[in-house]
Amino acid sequence: MQAFRIHTGLVAPIDRENVDTDAIIPKQFLKSIKRSGFGVNLFDGWRYLDHGEPGQDPAARQPNPDFVLNQPRYLGASVLLARKNFGCGSSREHAPWALDQYGFRALIAPSFADIFYNNCFKNGLLPIALADNLVARLFDDAAAFPGYTLTIDLERQVIVEPDGSELPFEVEPFRKHCLLGGLDDIGLTLRHADLIRSFEAERLLRKPWLAHTI
């Protein structure tokens, strides 16, 4: 998993409440058993005017010129600004996969759905919950200033605005530790690889029949 320490990125605003995971990555794209290739279909029902199916060439499709991510001023955005209850709906882990693979590194909203919030941390995304009035002001600034960027410092737990002012945010210490170290569940387990190997070797000495398979 990619570590998160300090990130500066262009901000893209999704000005909708209760954006569910089927909007983030529609159900027809969940057929893949791979953990890659979902970014091209992020917000597919909003990004394109035609119906999308797995395997289509994006260059041959009809982009929706009114959707925020298709507007030139937001190309290359890596910080997503959203309204309350972002990521609600089904618990599909494909939603943070799609956001990450599109290029987003951090999400800012007044609130997130619980399972989606947890899945973000497990996949290297930083979801930041701020008060409604602060999020509303960031929406105003993103609309008013083309090229609007924010710097997110996870170690210090602050969002740095273009004028240098800082917005503090909360993050659970263990989740912060994992993001700073780039540790997903597998990475956390592999830190104890020597102990695991030692346990397995000792167990086989006591129960050698476990070495045999049918």
Q: Structural domain boundaries of the chain?
A: 6-183
Task: Give residue 166's pLDDT.
Answer: 98
Task: Give residue 200's pLDDT.
Answer: 79
E-state strands within 86-148? 106-109, 126-129
Helices (H), 110-214: 114-122, 132-144, 173-181, 185-190, 193-206
Q: Which pTM value belongs to this model?
A: 0.88
Task: Give residue 173's pLDDT.
Answer: 96
Task: Give residue 111's pLDDT.
Answer: 98
Task: Give residue 207's pLDDT.
Answer: 82
Task: Give residue 187's pLDDT.
Answer: 67
Query: Which 3 state secondary structure label does DSSP give 105?
Result: coil
Task: Give residue 137's pLDDT.
Answer: 98
Cα separation, 91 vs 66, in Å, equals: 28
Task: Give residue 34's pLDDT.
Answer: 77
Task: Give residue 84's pLDDT.
Answer: 98
Class of domain 6-183 (CATH, top level): alpha beta
Task: Give residue 141's pLDDT.
Answer: 97
Structure token digits, residue 40: 């091209």
Residue with tokens 């960031």: 138
Task: Give residue 208's pLDDT.
Answer: 81
Q: Could you list the pLDDT tens digit for every one of the 214 residues in the chain?
A: 889 999 999 999 999 999 999 999 999 998 877 778 999 999 999 999 999 999 899 999 999 999 999 999 999 999 999 999 999 999 899 999 999 999 999 999 999 999 999 999 999 999 999 999 999 999 999 999 999 999 999 999 999 999 999 999 999 999 999 999 988 776 666 666 777 787 877 888 888 877 775 4
